[in-house]
Amino acid sequence: MHAPTPAPAWQPADARYAQQAYQRCGRAGLKLPAVSLGLWHNFGGIDDEAHSRRLLRHAVDRGITHLDLANNYGPPPGSAEALLGRWLRDEMAAHRDELLISTKAGYVMGPGPYGDGGSRKYLLDSLDASLKRLGLGHVDIFYHHRPDPQTPLDETLGALDFAVRSGRARYVGLSNYPAALAREAAAQLRALGTPCVIHQPRYNLLERTPEQGLLQALVDEGIGCIPFSPLAQGLLSARYLGGDIPADSRAARAHFLKPAAITPALLAKLRALDTVAGQHGLPLAGLALRWLLQRPAVCSVLIGASQTHQIDAAVAAAAAAPLSDGALQHIDALLADTPASP
Ligand SMILES: NC(=O)c1ccc[n+]([C@@H]2O[C@H](COP(=O)([O-])OP(=O)(O)OC[C@H]3O[C@@H](n4cnc5c(N)ncnc54)[C@H](OP(=O)(O)O)[C@@H]3O)[C@@H](O)[C@H]2O)c1
């Protein structure tokens, strides 16, 4: 007789699915939670694993079914996938199929000619390495992380198609592709029989480039949009409104958000937005997320979080009443001359 497997100490909350709305991703049958969690920061080998696990449990308990990774998330690169793999094994083994796990390849992952780009070799070797770190047989979405002008598009897309046909991924997506290339890639993937279901652009109140053609392309092609950095890495929150850089903030810790980017002009704009948010009964971060969820093609917002209350704030924002036309016009007027965010 086998000894019974001990139950994990933690179990997901029974009421978790009542806390989120789940929307279809473009024309696909796949549904995404209004709020998804990315593991770019706070889940690496340099971070406190006990705290990272707390964030993951909290997200699942709030109905967040979608966890987003890339091969290079860490630091060191690969360590976020390894952490998620350990957590899935230790605490979520019985619930793996309740999660939508995505990963990507396309930025620098390793040295030499096969550690970057969009070649078939890099993408498929990288996906195999991701699956190993995650301890999974498949991911739910495999993305090409950014366009690679040195690789023929059909080679990159053929690799994505193969990822699905070989059982390594359920769906494929693209990230950071400009509008015309996204349309071309969508047509090629459809012809291959593996449609592009989702696109990940950087899109937030301070970064409106996707409005110059990409969102329309996604609507036309039936592709869901999941904006990354919806809070511009925390700028669109109360974090920096006081004019200083809190010691535990991303701007103080990581080089991706530089304190020099927080100019007096930007602060003035953020404070004005904060006033609009207050008029609508929302914190600034809530306004930023609510606004995105009302944009064309958007099916989920892909947040980051260093603290559990940030996850709660995002889930509350998604559940808040939609912004009125008047509020949307007010926001557009305020941001008319906003430069691209960091
Ligand atoms: N495809 C791509 O090329 C690409 C690129 C970047 C990101 N992504 C994906 O998008 C995910 C999210 O990106 P992101 O982390 O930049 O998203 P974000 O939501 O714009 O920023 C998250 C950060 O903002 C701060 N924050 C969040 N909620 C807050 C609140 N209520 N009040 C105050 N501060 C708050 C936290 O930073 P602190 O508390 O540390 O200050 C948090 O870590 C990534 O994890 C990744 O999965 C994809």
Query: CATH no. for residue 202?
Result: 3.20.20.100
- Strand-pairing partners, residue 43, are none
Q: Is 66 in the pocket of ligand 1 (CB under 6 A)?
A: no
In a domain, 315, yes or no: yes
Cα 268 to middle of ligand 1, angstroms: 21
Q: Is 79 in the pocket of ligand 1 (CB under 6 A)?
A: no
Q: Residue 303: CB partners within 8 Å, gap ≥ 6?
A: 35, 36, 37, 38, 230, 231, 289, 310, 311, 314
Q: Whose CA is nearest to atom 30 of ligand 1?
A: 310
Q: 171: domain range?
A: 20-334
Atom of ligand 1 nearest to the CA of 68: 47
Cα 41 to middle of ligand 1, angstroms: 7
Query: What is the predicted pLDDT for the residue at 87?
Result: 98
Q: Whose CA is nearest to atom 11 of ligand 1?
A: 38
Cα 11 to middle of ligand 1, angstroms: 26
Question: Of 103, 106, 110, whose CA–CA distance to 147 is shortest?
Answer: 106
Q: Is 78 in the pocket of ligand 1 (CB under 6 A)?
A: no
Cα 302 to middle of ligand 1, angstroms: 8
Cα 235 to middle of ligand 1, angstroms: 10
In a domain, 3, yes or no: no
Q: Is 182 in the pocket of ligand 1 (CB under 6 A)?
A: no
Q: Whose CA is nearest to atom 28 of ligand 1?
A: 310
Q: Is 133 in the pocket of ligand 1 (CB under 6 A)?
A: no
In a domain, 15, yes or no: no
Atom of ligand 1 nearest to the CA of 285: 31
In a domain, 87, yes or no: yes
In a domain, 341, yes or no: no
Q: Considering its fold, how many domains does the chain have in total?
A: 1
Query: What is the predicted pLDDT for the residue at 3?
Result: 64
Q: Is 203 in the pocket of ligand 1 (CB under 6 A)?
A: no
139 CB burial (10 A radius; 0-12, 13-18, 19+): buried
In a domain, 6, yes or no: no
Please spell the DSSP secondary structure of 264-289, one letter per residue: HHHHHHHHHHHHHHHHTT--HHHHHH
Query: What is the predicted pLDDT for the residue at 7?
Result: 63
pLDDT in tens, 135-176: 999 999 999 999 999 999 999 999 999 999 999 999 999 999
What stretches in the chain show pLDDT beneath 70? 1-7, 338-342
Q: Whose CA is nearest to atom 43 of ligand 1?
A: 305
How much is the pTM?
0.96
Q: Is 176 in the pocket of ligand 1 (CB under 6 A)?
A: yes
Q: Residue 166: CB partners within 8 Å, gap ≥ 6?
A: none
Query: What is the predicted pLDDT for the residue at 342?
Result: 44
Number of C-beta neighbours around residue 254 at 10 A: 14
Atom of ligand 1 nearest to the CA of 143: 1
Q: Residue 269: CB partners within 8 Å, gap ≥ 6?
A: 334, 335, 338
Query: What is the predicted pLDDT for the residue at 341?
Result: 47
The three-class DSSP label of residue 195 is coil
In a domain, 241, yes or no: yes
Query: What is the predicted pLDDT for the residue at 147?
Result: 98
In a domain, 7, yes or no: no
Tell which one of 37, 41, 258, 292 to mutate to probe ligand 1, the residue whose CB is within 8 A of the most ligand atoms. 41
Q: Is 72 in the pocket of ligand 1 (CB under 6 A)?
A: no
Q: Residue 276: CB partners within 8 Å, gap ≥ 6?
A: 287, 327, 330, 331, 334
Please give the Cα distance from 16 to 92 (Å, whole number).
14
Tell which one of 79, 84, 228 to mutate to probe ligand 1, the residue whose CB is within 8 A of the most ligand atoms. 228
Please give the Cα distance from 146 to 201 (Å, whole number).
10
- Strand-pairing partners, residue 68, are 38, 102
